Amino acid sequence: MLSSLLPCCCCYPHHTVFNSFPLFSGTKVTQKPGKFFRTGWGATVDGKLGWLVMEAVPVFVFPTAFWFSTSPPDYKAISVPAAILLFLWMAHYVHRAFVYTYFAPSISPSNITIVTMAIIFNIANGFVNGVAAAKIVYDRMLGIQFWVGVVVFLCGAFINIDSDYKLFRLRREAKVGEKIQRYFIPCGFIFEYISGANYFGELIEWTG
């Protein structure tokens, strides 16, 4: 559904940006986010702060582009299916930017390069999707495709959020004495079948 508006990775922009960056630079980019982070790519940024900043961008860009793309800019001109897309987008990114950041026990440090590239991607991604979503007409919600997309999105969101909070719980329980266990094997629900259930959930989410 939303993914049909712009076929790109919406949830983990730093991966998309850095995987595609060689197309523009002609060089291989080897910097990685998360636990694989290394210095040498600019100033180090606190993990939670960097995540909050780059994930908060779509919260503002998408609805701004959405609003000014309605004709005329008026809430009465917004179709029901367009409003549903707006709600799904905002629910996802408000959670990713604020709720996820608050409840995460920790987020690995990043650097200014990754955060900046992620912000650039999220500005472009939020703008294009906001414009496209605003153009959705009422008739779209009369077809089965629209509602299948909504259901798939919600199922993916549930898998993603459930998996994330299972990982949060494991991190909180990871401290053994004075040592912190860095690696552990999550289990339960989708983790019984897929090791990266949280990533799988977001893949399903944006497939919808």
CB 197 within 8 A of CB 159: yes
- Tens of pLDDT, residue by residue over 10-48, are 333 334 333 344 334 344 555 455 555 555 667 888 999
CB 105 within 8 A of CB 168: yes
Instruction: Give residue 90's identity as a one-letter amino acid code.
Output: M
- Going along the chain, which residue ranges are E strands? 44-45, 110-111, 175-176, 179-180
Provide the Cα torsion 160, 169, 106, 201; round to 10°: -10
Find the range with the poorest average confidence among 15-29, 85-99, 113-127, 185-199.
Answer: 15-29
pTM of the model: 0.76
- Tens of pLDDT, residue by residue over 127-137, are 999 999 999 98
Which range in 71-75, 122-126, 194-198 is most confidently predicted, on average pLDDT? 122-126
Beta strand 110-111 with 179-180 is unpaired
Q: Bridge-partner residues for 45, per DSSP?
A: 110
CB 117 within 8 A of CB 14: yes
Domain coordinates in residue numbering, the chain: 1-26+43-139, 143-208
